[in-house]
């Protein structure tokens, strides 16, 4: 360093440093684990960094520091993670003409960044293009089956069909559909929902009446059984001497009728009455 | 204090440069090592070094100036020391990581995943090279879906095409911090959607009565299982701890009918209770009467005639002592009924019956 330069030394140093930094920044790039990049030279893609590999382990897929030609190579970043296609609510008509509001979602990831870059530029575009296809695929597939099956476990098969169909399209954009699922499947507001409520209501009314009737029936059976048991008990006991029972029961009955009964009682007795046998004297 | 000390030194440098613009010697002075210890004392003797003297004094007042020549080059080292200290601090702060018991640290070396830190003190390269993201894997997070509030309903279809109002919550934690960070674009949103999807799929296979009543636990486990499968498919690094159904009710619109069912159930139980009570009564009475008859009959068998007569007379005695009696003795006599008595009784009856 000579004397004249040293006067501007800090300035030169700063400028040099900044230039160097700029160069470094445009040469080196940090590739995060969550992204994959397409290196584009003058608009032409020349390389892919940190490309998604199925079941690849993190830390070994190409993330980290990379170098490129400064100012010439651009990196187009694409998300490497599983992303979401949120679909607008679709009204689906089943084969038995029942309407159902369906919310579904699909999960996708970019597996071929180059293709994505060429056909759709970025992942948002991919999602935008897949969204209407998901909607129509859903309507088509669900429109082929009856309402009851929509709720059944067979739905898995339908979902697989939709996923396969969607995957064919997604592959054109370098994407892969990870999963398609129905989030909600509801009856639309208004008449369908109301009639479903009405059906539930009437089913419950019926259940309530059935339970009531069954209760009455059970109660009646219990009473009848008790009566029968009592009759058996009486018969077993009284049947030992029917004649004595006649007498015994008559005595009970007299007490009950004349003593505990209502109203005055007048008895006109004939002297020939058994009770008055002695009254008239033995000499008869 | 350091800055204040640095200030005057920087100023001094500027002044020196200004003063030395005539010759190259001027700026060299602060850079080069002191020629000798006598350099400094020579300053005040020479006229132009008055500024030096002023600065020296101010330096001494600040207490930074120690030995004879030291402060002169001290300006440079202090600046360097400060930088070095800053650098050391920086390194210390960014390469030591204290990871809590429930935490894990994900190390990103220039963006690349290079390992996971376990609890304790951990080291990494300083900041621009290594970045550590702490993740709390012990913390159980909860996603609430639907609400137990009366005015909001989360309706879904059951397997028997009925509608149920469900509110539930999903508890989860991070299982694999690296996967959690790198696999899903929106992990929380994903978990919520997976929960909704799984819940509806499971509820779609059970009947309304099961969902409201006994099947709840089964549904909870099935949903948790299903969610875990889906999330494993995504390699999300999430573990579902449990799914809890907080509310499973019929929709408000049909609630009245459901209440009627439970009303009917109560009613049926009431019928049964009443009939059982009646049965008890009837049975007991029959047994009692039969037992009484048996006892009497046993005695009667010992002396049938006497017992019979005795019972007859006792009963008649009791009966006839309480009633009006008319005995018509002679045969052929017209038995006049005691009309006065009958009349006495009749008006009372008719009066009682009339109004």
- Concatenate the DSSP letters of all residues of B95-115 into one string: HEEEE-TTEEEEEEETTEEEE
**Residue closest to B123 by CA, chosen among B89, B99, B88:** B99
Q: pLDDT digits over A134-159, tens only? A: 888 888 888 888 877 776 666 778 88
Determine the distance in angstroms separating the CA of B61 from the nearest CA of chain A, rounded to an integer.
Answer: 30
Cβ-defined contact of A105 to B111 (cutoff 8 Å): no
CA distance readout (Å), B355 to B259, B346, B349: 47, 15, 11
Is the pLDDT confidence value at B158 over 60? yes
Mutating which of A99, A211, A227, A255 best tests the B interface, going by the most B Cβ atoms within 10 A? Answer: A211
Average pLDDT over residues B99-108: 86
Quote the CA–CA distance of B246 and B148 in Å, as a whole number: 7
Task: Give the end of a domain, one of A144, A161, A188.
Answer: A188
Quote the CA–CA distance of A114 and A76 in Å, as a whole number: 10
Which range of B113-122, B150-159, B256-265 scores highest in mean pLDDT? It is: B256-265
Q: DSSP assignment of B5-68, as one string?
A: HHHHHHHHHHHHHHHGGGSTHHHHHHHSPPS-TTHHHHHHHSGGGHHHHHHHHHHHHHT---SS
Q: Which residue of A has its CA nearest to B115?
A: A59
Q: DSSP assignment of chain A, as one string?
A: --HHHHHTHHHHHHHHHHHHHHHHHHHEEEE-TTEEEEEEETTEEEEEES---TTPPTTSSS-EEEE--TTTEEEEEEE-SBEEEEPPPEEEE-TTS-EEEEEEEEEEEES-HHHHHHHHSSHHHHHHHHHHHHHHHHHHHHTTS-HHHHHSTTHHHHHHHHHHHHHHHHHHTTEEEEEEEEEEEEPPTTHHHHHHHHHHHHHHHHHHHHHHHHHHHHHHHHHHHHHHHHHHHHHHHHTT-HHHHHHHHHHHHHIIIIIISSS--EEEE-TTSGGGTTTT-TT-
pLDDT-based confidence at B335, cuts 50/70/90? low
Average pLDDT over residues B290-300: 89
Same domain, A65 and A183: yes
Same domain, A184 and A209: no
* Of A60-69, B195-204, B211-220, B331-340, the least confident: B331-340
Tell me what pLDDT residue B76 has. Answer: 64
Average pLDDT over residues B113-124: 84
Tell me what pLDDT residue B275 has. Answer: 94
Q: Which residue of B has its CA nearest to A82?
A: B184
Quote the CA–CA distance of A146 and B203 in Å, as a whole number: 18
**Residue closest to A241 by CA, chosen among B207, B221, B299:** B299
Task: Give the end of a domain, one of A172, A188, A204.
Answer: A188
Tell me what pLDDT residue B47 has. Answer: 47
Whether residue A96 lies inside any domain: the answer is yes
* Of A92-106, B31-45, B105-119, B260-274, the least confident: B31-45
- Percent pLDDT > 90 in chain A is 12
- Per CB-CB distance under 8 Å, the chain B contacts of A209 are 264
Same domain, A84 and A217: no
Q: Across chain B, what does the average pLDDT equal? A: 76
Same domain, A161 and A48: yes
Is the pLDDT confidence value at A22 over 70? yes
- Per CB-CB distance under 8 Å, the chain A contacts of B268 are 211-212, 214-216, 218
Contact B278, A221 (CB under 8 A): no
Average pLDDT over residues A85-110: 86
Q: Across chain A, what does the average pLDDT equal? A: 83
Same domain, A113 and A63: yes
CA-CA-CA-CA torsion for B298, B302, B305, B308, nearest 10 degrees? -20
B288 contacts: CB under 8 Å, gap ≥ 6: none
pLDDT-based confidence at A218, cuts 50/70/90? very high
Whether residue A278 lies inside any domain: the answer is no
Determine the distance in angstroms separating the CA of B156 from the nearest CA of chain A, rounded to an integer.
Answer: 6
pLDDT-based confidence at B142, cuts 50/70/90? very high
Contact B283, A228 (CB under 8 A): no
Is the pLDDT confidence value at B13 over 50? no
* Of A138-147, A216-225, B44-53, the least confident: B44-53
Same domain, A184 and A210: no
Q: Which residue of A has its CA nearest to B297?
A: A244
B273 is written with which tokens? 């209770």
Whether residue A173 lies inside any domain: the answer is yes
Contact B84, A6 (CB under 8 A): no
Residue B193 sits at the chain A interface (C-beta within 8 Å) = yes
Is the pLDDT confidence value at B30 over 70? no
Instruction: Tell me which residue range forms the domain holding A225.
Output: 194-256
Tell me what pLDDT residue B3 has. Answer: 40
Is the pLDDT confidence value at B20 over 70? no
Q: Exposure pattern of A103-115 as b/e (b: 16+ CB <10 Å)?
A: bbbbbbbbbbbbb
Tell me what pLDDT residue B128 has. Answer: 76
Tell me which H or E stretch contains B219.
Answer: helix B216-233
Same domain, A82 and A163: yes
Q: Which residue of A has its CA nearest to B327?
A: A269
Q: pLDDT digits over B260-278, tens only? A: 988 999 999 999 999 999 9
- Per CB-CB distance under 8 Å, the chain B contacts of A63 are 111-113
Cβ-defined contact of A222 to B278 (cutoff 8 Å): yes
Whether residue A7 lies inside any domain: the answer is no
Cβ-defined contact of A178 to B233 (cutoff 8 Å): yes
B256 contacts: CB under 8 Å, gap ≥ 6: A201
Cβ-defined contact of A230 to B280 (cutoff 8 Å): no
Average pLDDT over residues A83-91: 86
The CATH number of the domain holding residue A154 is 3.30.479.30
Quote the CA–CA distance of B309 and B215 in Å, as a whole number: 73
Longest dimension (CA), chain A: 179
Is the pLDDT confidence value at B167 over 70? yes
Mutating which of A183, A228, A276 best tests the B interface, going by the most B Cβ atoms within 10 A? Answer: A183
Quote the CA–CA distance of A36 and A39 in Å, as a whole number: 10
CB-nearest to B311 from A34, A219, A251 is A251
Same domain, A223 and A122: no
Same domain, A168 and A207: no
* Of A214-223, B33-42, B219-228, the least confident: B33-42
CA distance readout (Å), B221 to A130, B155, B201, B243: 34, 20, 13, 7
* Of A81-85, A104-108, B339-343, the least confident: B339-343
Whether residue A142 lies inside any domain: the answer is yes
Can you tell me whether residue B260 is helix, strand or coil? Answer: helix
Determine the distance in angstroms separating the CA of B206 from the nearest CA of chain A, rounded to an integer.
Answer: 9
Tell me what pLDDT residue B276 has. Answer: 94
For this complex, say whether ipTM is above 0.90.
no
Number of domains in chain A: 2
Tokens 């209502």 -> residue? A262
Sign of CA dihedral A112, A118, A124, A126: negative
Is the pLDDT confidence value at B69 over 50? no
Please tell me the CATH code under which domain B141-250 is placed: 3.30.479.30
Quote the CA–CA distance of B210 and B218 in Å, as a whole number: 9
Same domain, A169 and A252: no
Residue B241 DSSP label: E
Contact B54, B63 (CB under 8 A): no
Task: Give the end of a domain, one of A128, A157, A188.
Answer: A188
Whether residue A283 lies inside any domain: the answer is no
Same domain, A154 and A224: no
Cβ-defined contact of B268 to A211 (cutoff 8 Å): yes
Tell me what pLDDT residue B324 has. Answer: 75
Average pLDDT over residues A62-68: 79
Is the pLDDT confidence value at A239 over 80? yes
CB atoms within 10 A of CB B151: 6
Same domain, A75 and A94: yes
pLDDT-based confidence at B355, cuts 50/70/90? very low
Whether residue A203 lies inside any domain: the answer is yes
- Percent pLDDT > 90 in chain B is 18
Q: Exposure pattern of B64-99 as b/e (b: 16+ CB <10 Å)?
A: bbeeebebbebbeebeeeeeeeeeeeeeeebbebeb
Facing residues of B70 across strands?
none
Is the pLDDT confidence value at B285 over 60? yes
- Per CB-CB distance under 8 Å, the chain B contacts of A237 are 289-291, 293-294
């Amino acid at each position: 360093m000579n004397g004249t330069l040293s006067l501007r030394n800090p300035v030169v140093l700063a400028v040099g440093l900044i230039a160097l930094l700029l160069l470094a920044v445009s040469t080196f790039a940090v590739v995060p684990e969550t992204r994959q990049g397409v290196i584009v030279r003058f608009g032409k893609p020349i390389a892919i960094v940190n490309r998604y590999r199925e079941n690849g382990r993190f830390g070994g897929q190409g993330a980290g520091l990379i170098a490129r030609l400064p100012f010439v190579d651009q990196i187009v970043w694409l998300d490497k993670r599983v992303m979401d296609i949120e679909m607008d609510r679709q009204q689906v008509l089943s084969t038995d003409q029942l309407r159902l509001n369906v919310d579904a979602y699909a999960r996708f990831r970019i597996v071929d960044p180059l293709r994505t870059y060429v056909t759709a530029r970025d992942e948002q575009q991919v999602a935008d293009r897949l969204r209407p296809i998901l909607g129509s695929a859903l309507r088509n597939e669900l429109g082929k089956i009856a309402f009851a099956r929509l709720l059944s476990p067979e739905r898995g098969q339908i979902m697989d069909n939709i996923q396969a169909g969607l995957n064919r399209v997604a592959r054109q954009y370098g994407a892969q559909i990870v999963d398609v699922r129905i989030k909600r499947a509801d009856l639309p507001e208004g008449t369908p929902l109301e009639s479903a409520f009405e059906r539930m209501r009437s089913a419950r009314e019926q259940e309530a009446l059935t339970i009531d009737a069954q209760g009455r029936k059970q109660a009646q059976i219990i009473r009848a059984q008790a009566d029968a048991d009592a009759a058996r008990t009486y018969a077993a006991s009284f049947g030992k001497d029917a004649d004595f029972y006649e007498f015994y029961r008559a005595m009970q009955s007299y007490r009950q009728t004349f003593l505990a009964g209502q109203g005055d009682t007048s008895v006109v007795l004939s002297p020939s009455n058994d009770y008055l046998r002695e009254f008239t004297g033995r000499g008869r | 204090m350091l800055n204040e000390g640095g200030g005057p030194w920087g100023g001094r440098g500027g002044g020196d440069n200004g003063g030395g613009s005539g010759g190259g010697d001027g700026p060299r002075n602060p850079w080069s090592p002191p020629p000798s210890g006598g350099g400094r004392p020579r300053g005040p003797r020479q006229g132009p070094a008055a500024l030096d003297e002023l600065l020296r004094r101010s330096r001494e007042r600040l207490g930074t100036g120690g030995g004879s020549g030291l402060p002169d080059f001290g300006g440079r080292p202090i600046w360097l020391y400060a930088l070095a200290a800053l650098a050391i601090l920086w390194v210390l702060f960014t390469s030591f990581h204290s990871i809590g018991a429930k935490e894990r640290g994900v190390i990103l070396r220039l963006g690349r995943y290079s390992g996971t830190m376990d609890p304790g003190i951990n080291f990494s390269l300083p900041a621009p090279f290594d970045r550590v993201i702490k993740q709390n894997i012990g913390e159980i997070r909860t996603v609430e879906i639907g609400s137990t509030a009366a005015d909001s309903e989360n309706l879904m279809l059951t397997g028997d095409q009925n509608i149920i109002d469900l509110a539930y919550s999903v508890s989860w934690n991070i299982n694999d911090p690296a996967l959690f960070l790198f696999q899903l674009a929106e992990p929380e949103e994903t978990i919520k959607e997976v929960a909704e999807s799984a819940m509806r799929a499971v509820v779609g296979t059970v009947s309304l009565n099961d969902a409201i009543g006994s099947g709840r636990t089964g549904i909870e486990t099935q949903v948790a299982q299903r969610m875990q499968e889906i999330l494993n498919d995504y390699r999300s690094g999430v573990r579902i701890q449990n799914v809890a159904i907080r509310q499973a009710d019929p929709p408000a619109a049909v609630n009245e009918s459901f209440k009627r069912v439970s009303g009917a159930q109560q009613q049926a139980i009431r019928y049964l209770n009443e009939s059982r009570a009646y049965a008890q009564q009837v049975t007991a009475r029959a047994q009692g009467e039969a037992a009484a008859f048996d006892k009497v009959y046993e005695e009667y068998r010992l002396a049938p005639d006497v017992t019979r007569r005795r019972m007859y007379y006792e009963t008649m005695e009791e009966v006839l002592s309480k009633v009006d009696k008319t005995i018509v003795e002679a045969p052929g006599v017209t038995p006049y009924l005691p009309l006065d008595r009958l009349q006495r009784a009749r008006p009372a009856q008719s009066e009682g019956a009339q109004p």
